Amino acid sequence: MQTPAIAVSGLRKTFGTHPVLNDVTFEVAPGEIFALLGPNGAGKTTLINILSTLVAPDAGTATVNGFDVGRDPLAVRRSIGLTGQSAAVDEVLTGSENLRMMGRLFGLSRSASAARADELLERFDLVQAARKRAKTYSGGMRRRLDLAISLIVAPSVLFLDEPTTGLDPRSRQELWNVIRSLKEDGRTVFLTTQYLEEADQLADTVAVLNEGHVVASGTPAALKATVGGDVVEVRDRAGNLLLQLPTDGSIHGLRAAIAEVDASGVDGDVTVREPSLDDVFLALTDAGAGHAAPELIGRTAR
Write out the residues near other proteins by the rule CB under 8 A: 52-56, 73-74, 77-78, 80, 82, 84, 86-93, 97, 101-102, 104-109, 112, 115-116, 119, 133, 149, 153-154
Integer CA distances (angstroms), 232 to 120, 178, 257, 298, in order = 46, 35, 7, 11
Angle between helices 95-105 and 110-123 (to 10 degrees): 130
In the complex, least distance from residue 50 CB atom to other proteins, rounded to whole angstroms: 10
Question: What does the chain come to in residues?
Answer: 302
Q: Considering all CA atoms of the chain, what is the largest pairwise distance in Å, rounded to the nearest integer?
A: 73
Q: Which is nearer to other proteins, 133 or 235 (CB)?
A: 133
In the complex, least distance from residue 40 CB atom to other proteins, rounded to whole angstroms: 18
CA dist 280 and 222 (Å) reads: 12
In the complex, least distance from residue 93 CB atom to other proteins, rounded to whole angstroms: 6
CA dist 23 and 6 (Å) reads: 16
In the complex, least distance from residue 281 CB atom to other proteins, rounded to whole angstroms: 28
In the complex, least distance from residue 104 CB atom to other proteins, rounded to whole angstroms: 5
In the complex, least distance from residue 57 CB atom to other proteins, rounded to whole angstroms: 10
Q: Which is nearer to other proteins, 56 or 292 (CB)?
A: 56
Find the DSSP H helices in the chain. Answer: 44-51, 73-79, 95-105, 110-123, 139-150, 169-184, 196-202, 220-227, 251-264, 277-284
Q: Which is nearer to other proteins, 59 or 88 (CB)?
A: 88
Q: Which is nearer to other proteins, 155 or 275 (CB)?
A: 155
Q: Which is nearer to other proteins, 92 or 222 (CB)?
A: 92
Bridge partners for 80 per DSSP = 157
CA dist 137 and 167 (Å) reads: 13
* DSSP letter (8 states) at residue 242: E
Q: Which is nearer to other proteins, 109 or 128 (CB)?
A: 109
